Structure 1
Amino acid sequence: MAAAMTSTHEEPRVVLSARGLTKSFGAFAAVKDVDLDVQDAQVHALIGPNGAGKTTVFNLLTKFLQPTGGTITLMGKDITRTPADKVARMGLVRSFQISAVFPHLTVLDNVRVALQRPGGLSTQFWLPLASLERLNARADELIEAVGLKRERNALAADLSYGRKRVLEIATTLALDPKVLLLDEPMAGMGQEDIGTISGIIGEVAKTRAVLMVEHNLSVVADICHRVTVLQRGEILAEGDYKTVAQDERVRLAYMGTEEA
């Protein structure tokens, strides 16, 4: 008798979720009843015009702000009232939390500094500088992964703006996040750097979830698996880029401008 056929298809795993997320400042509701599911190994974009509530949602998810209402879960654990530092240690990392590179340190040293917490050295300040040598192998892996191998020993201050942003991503990845939140990673970049960062984000998303706020719709179309459109703190539309782009409300409100 032939063996029964079994399906190998698995549903995408939700790693970061919000239900009924709400934030009010006095009488003003900046975020209203937002439901959001971010799936593992996918890039999820949060788009909308200025004032749509994107940054507030980011601040709520990363616990820089406490919600007025609703719940947030990370890897199935309720983090609604969890402090920001603990959430980061649980694997929810926002790019600008460690995005300020040390200009007078080399690329290698910037990445090694970021590796000190996962390497167990962040509180062992009495150890000699040579103790950081154990971090070199992982630092070099990260540096090569983001295309900074040639600049390994260059001072961060000598890098172009785009290459500094690449270094910031490397230092963020040093924390080994399970969910990576990127706030406008393409802002202020030339086309060549945009291509580089897009490629890096695509590679990063093969092994972890990425949630990004991004105004460049070409980037969103190219690398994002799912898109959530916010308007006045509420979800206007959600789906893959093609679905969202065909939504008449979105087309009228956003797709005709670079502010979308």
Structure 2
Amino acid sequence: MTEYVLETRGLTKEFKGFTAVKNLNFQVRRGSIHALIGPNGAGKTTVFNLLTKFLVPTSGQILYHGEDITHVASAAIARRGVVRSFQISAVFPHLTVLENVRVALQRHTATTFQFWRSESILDRLNDRAMELLEEVGLSAFAQVTAAELSYGRKRALEIATTLALEPDTLLLDEPMAGMGHEDIGRIANLIRRVAKGRTVVMVEHNLSVVADLSDRITVLMRGEILAEGPYSEVSANPDVREAYMGTGHA
């Protein structure tokens, strides 16, 4: 079994003459929390889009558990266990918290996304849905409409729905975006909990969160790797300080 869950080899993405990602050799170790950071326009979201097949690479390879998935469709990638969240919370606002998770759970049953199924059939999923809500700290909000949740709790609900897909590898795109201090602490603790037994890759601008959660950090600059390593090493790198912070000091 390979040491790396996700790996890219010479990954490149060009857009009409502009190279967003250039010859990227990137490895994510099994069971780690790996942060992808860098200034705006560094190519972080493009890398996520390539890994989850929302974009097709111009050249290079993507490997998952050592198997080449470069030409595998995005839906098939998700079925293999690579599940992604987005910067904007994606929940059904007019369904309850429980119903949101239950919809995600239907992927594993013959009732997949058939909203017209009877309540008695869908109720069979309630026990697992409640387990997931307990895992993300939302069991007390099960019957609350998603639109009524605070922003931070909506992100927690989104994580619950991704966990319903039984991911092996979870890609989080700016999970702390737009959050207040209290919500940041809650979601950081949640990510730490759900990472047990899984691999997490996250794009995140909040460096205190990156420092607290990450086992390893990759710094991108203009689509290329500028530095890699633990936070203590990366944060002391003068090239990272200059490129990421725009200054010669941290």
TM-score, with normalisation over the residues of structure 2?
Answer: 0.94
- Structure 1 runs (4+) deviating above 4 angstroms are 123-127
The count of aligned residue pairs is: 248
- 2:210 maps to a residue whose letter is V
Structure 1 counterpart of 2:135: 145
User: CA offset at residue 203 of structure 1?
Assistant: 1.1
Q: Does 1:174 align with 2:164?
A: yes
User: CA offset at residue 99 of structure 1?
Assistant: 4.5
Distance 1:99 1:178 in 2: 21
Unpaired runs of 5+ residues, structure 1, are: 1-10
Tell me which moved more, 247-256 or 196-205: 247-256
Q: Match for 2:205 among 201, 215, 221?
A: 215
Structure 2 counterpart of 1:108: 98
Q: Does 1:58 align with 2:48?
A: yes
**What is the 5 A alignment of 1:1-260?**
13-96=3-86, 99-122=89-112, 127-255=117-245
What RMSD, in angstroms, separates the aligned Cα atoms of the two structures? Answer: 2.0
- 1:140 maps to a residue whose letter is M
Structure 2 counterpart of 1:5: none
Q: 1:250 to 1:70 in 2, by over 3 A?
A: same
Q: State the Cα deviation string for residues 144-188 of structure 1 (Å, max 9, x = none).
A: 010011111111111111111111111111101111111000000
Q: 1:123 to 1:107 in 2, by over 3 A?
A: closer
Q: 1:123 to 1:214 in 2, by over 3 A?
A: closer
Q: Does the CA-based 8 Å contact 1:95-1:181 persist in structure 2?
A: yes
Q: 1:145 to 1:44 in 2, by over 3 A?
A: same
Q: 1:12 to 1:77 in 2, by over 3 A?
A: closer
Distance 1:49 1:42 in 2: 23
Unpaired runs of 5+ residues, structure 2, are: none
Distance 2:93 2:68 in 1: 38
Q: 1:45 to 1:97 in 2, by over 3 A?
A: closer
Q: State the Cα deviation string for residues 97-132 of structure 1 (Å, max 9, x = none).
A: 994211111110100001100234206677423111
User: CA offset at residue 54 of structure 1?
Assistant: 0.4
TM-score, with normalisation over the residues of structure 1?
Answer: 0.90
- 2:188 maps to a residue whose letter is S
